[in-house]
Amino acid sequence: MAESIYPPSIGFIGLGAMGYPMCSQLRQKLPVTTPLYIFDVNAAALTRFTIEHANSGPITVCSSAREVGEAADTIISIVPEGTHVEAVYLSASGLLRVSNLAGKTLIDSSTIGVSTSTSVSSFIPAGTRFLDAPVSGGPMGAEKGTLTFMVGAAEDAFFTARLRPLLMLMGNNIFACGGPGCGLAAKLCNNYLSGLIAVATSESMNLGMRSGLDPAVLHAIFKTSTAQNWVSDSCNPVPGVCPEAPPSRGYEGGFRVEFMRKDFQLAVEAAEQVGARLELGEAGLRVYTAASRDERFRGRDSRVVYKWLGGRDPTVAEGGKEAEM
């Protein structure tokens, strides 16, 4: 029998907005005999996952990150912030309390500061692989299995033969970015640019609509002109322009505005650390900070900055009252 290209067992820590669909992709696509060990602080998410995937293969709910690490050969984690990553790895019930870490692979897909990841990696014992591998594509990409992975590793034999096939179960673009921390550096650069594009798109759509332009016409112009970008094409901030995107669903789902503020701040801090000049960084950070602190917009998709700017909802009849957020 041919050797499987996948690890003999998988652990997954963090079943949030991104982690849940990523873990779902794994359970659905891994060999039905591959054991999957899961943990999250939200017990309801664990229960829902086991019910939804009861017929996809063996699933074991664990009581801690340490328990996942004891059982699984390869462990993937994705949690919101650096303090959560430190808890997953360094706490009394964390992965680094596992007695048999040698030979295991630890993949952290959280978006955190490079310095935090480097600090955690300094505690990883010899013989254990630790990789920063943040993702881009948002919950929609996670649900479709089309994420981009940015991995802080060289494109060596292990990456090509073992890591890439596993990550391809959850994404369709897997990049070896170099050494430790380079995956996170790439992700922060990506989210800095994406965040600025979302603000610029929101401002441009608002300007055009207030000047009498039909948002659908403006959207079509952007799509075929020099202003073309993914945000406008696929997740336009104006409700109704992209019917399947979060802005057309009350900005529900998607990449929450407070997470964009967090990533944007990390990018600005990273620029300070390496001496990179940012002319737009502080302005962008002010926008996301203000929008994320506004109770009308907190918890909404980050393209809600369009509403924070005073953009109107064209799906509401003239003179009608727009829905409260």
Tokens at 130, concatenated: 């630790």
Tokens at 157, concatenated: 């034999």
Rounded to whole angstroms, how far apart are CA atoms 280 and 282? 6
Rounded to whole angstroms, how far apart are CA atoms 79 and 48? 18
Tokens at 203, concatenated: 């401002």
Among 29, 104, 187, 307, the active-site one is 187
Rounded to whole angstroms, how far apart are CA atoms 58 and 76? 17
Per the annotation, the verdict on 29 as an active-site residue is no
Rounded to whole angstroms, how far apart are CA atoms 191 and 184? 10
Question: Which amino acid, one-letter code, is at 142?
Answer: A
Which residues belong to the active site?
A: 187
